[in-house]
Structure 1
């Protein structure tokens, strides 16, 4: 009984996501961001210095900041630190006393602390819609899309997506901004949502969907280069510092060749050898920036501005 200790596993990459049955499109005027149960109690079951939780925290932070900048409502759920046996109900049988035994771990993790303008809901059951005001709030805001981030993917996040669907709310399940007990459970949750009730997408998809600019392409700049390298290395962008050796961070020849092809597709003439002879992001940018007069970074295949398709 209780939550097991969670061993590190690699966060799903964009190319590993299941195919969506639907082709719903994210719309900033219809969306609400849900940050689900990111309390210290639940995060402490991970090795917080390893995958997937390192990427989890960074990716949720990125999505949250983009949503805040666009005026998209941000909603947090939190299980209460004190619950009677009656209030806890059948959760007591499956998981024991939970937070009641660790009330000091009740707060949201520091890096994701809510702001005054955010909405924080007390949550009693797996789904964020059960015994909360979430559905009423969304209807009051006239919003019918829910971007889901948080823990745990196959429990509260997946069932929230299912209940959103049953209330005619389109769920968008951010695969690399959720995490789980194991990679297998995580994949099960992604597959279920993609095939039965919603859209599974990546953090990059959300950022691109809510990006200003051309509907066909996005500008190429230093931060976009950093983001692409971070994705190839399966690291948060905050770990890709200008002066660090990218080879030491794990950028092998296969990943480097993938990046070369992406740069060429963006209209930037560069060779494998030119990049391989330099070690840092700063050196790469000094070499690349003079070549960017007509460079534009193509959006991922199947995606349009302000939307993600299955």
Structure 2
């Protein structure tokens, strides 16, 4: 981490795929039989982190997945041939945010692949914000969050994974992604450490 560290003026909070199909028991993953308690707990902690970011003047960028016939290539659909129902279909309840609500003044980025950098306006948004540190949270740690972390690092942003505000379908998958990011792509902190950095007297 370069000079200035985690000062609020250096940070952006990027919340990835906090959507019903990934997080709600009534969503696609819940209906498929996946246990979502860890993901739901991470989202509840993320709610507090979002509040802290807003108080500190840290921009919050919301990333959501949407899929439809215009973006679903044969290769993309073929990655999960046993999937019975679409996930985060455009306009569906499953694509709506889960337990969180972006403010009218906050940016929402729509993506169609795992990484929030692929085919989206996120790079332009981040360049306009001109803040070098991306604090990443959301779902799932080992797929969309890690994919976004990798692409962010390779585009020269400083990556911070907020470990307890990210969740995966299994703890093993979460732990493996955390280790990958810690080893190769950025720092790993919990929400309390980040909130403390943002609330230090004199930090801006």
TM above 0.5, one fold? yes
Instruction: Note if 1:57 corresponds to 2:51.
Output: no
Q: Which residue does 1:144 correspond to in 2? A: 132
Matched, 1:36 2:16: yes
Conserved? CA contact 2:23–2:40, under 8 Å: no
Runs (4+) of structure 1 exceeding 6 A deviation are 47-50
Are residue 164 (structure 1) and residue 152 (structure 2) matched?
yes
The range that moved more, 148-157 or 97-106, is 97-106
**More displaced, 95-104 or 117-126?**
95-104
- Any residues of structure 2 matched to 1:55-204 within 5 Å, and which? 55-80=41-66, 82-84=67-69, 86-89=70-73, 90-95=75-80, 96=83, 97-100=86-89, 103-109=92-98, 111-204=99-192
Q: What CA deviation, in whole Å up to 9, does each residue of 1:195-226 have, x standing for no partner? A: 00101111111111111338xxxxxxxxxxxx
**How many residues matched?**
192
Give the conservation status (yes or no) of the 8 Å contact 2:133–2:159: yes
Q: Identify the residue that residue 239 of structure 1 maps to in structure 2.
A: none
Which of 149, 171, 194 lines up with 1:206 in the alignment?
194
- Structure 2 gap ranges (5+): none
Where relative contact order (Cα < 8 A, 6+ residues apart) is larger, the structure is: 2
Contact preservation (8 Å) 2:21, 2:88: yes
CA contact (8 A) 2:46 2:137 kept: yes
Higher Rg: 1
Q: Whole-Å Cα distance in 2 between the matches of residues 204 and 55 of structure 1?
A: 15
Seen in structure 2, the aligned counterparts of structure 1 residues 101 and 23 have a Cα distance that, compared at 3 Å, is closer
What runs of 5+ residues in structure 1 fail to find an aligned partner? 1-21, 215-304
User: How many angstroms does 1:99 deviate by?
Assistant: 2.5
Pairwise CA distance, 1:91: 2.6
Note if contact 1:35-1:149 (Cα within 8 Å) is conserved in structure 2.
yes
| 3-state SS, counterpart of residue 143 of structure 1 | coil
Question: Within 2, Cα distance between the matches of 1:101 and 1:130?
Answer: 18
CA distance in 1, matches of 2:169, 2:35: 16
Q: Distance in 2 between matches of 1:104 and 1:211?
A: 36
Following the alignment from structure 1 to structure 2, what is the Cα–Cα distance between the partners of residues 78 and 98?
A: 12
TM-score (norm 1): 0.57
1:31-61 CA distances to partner (integer Å, 9 max, x unpaired)? 1111101110111335999741342122101
Q: Compute the TM-score of the two structures, normalised by the length of structure 2.
A: 0.85
| Change beyond 3 A, Cα 1:202–1:48 | farther
Equivalent-residue separation in structure 1 for 2:119 and 2:36 (angstroms): 34
CA contact (8 A) 2:153 2:186 kept: yes
Superposition CA RMSD, Å: 2.5
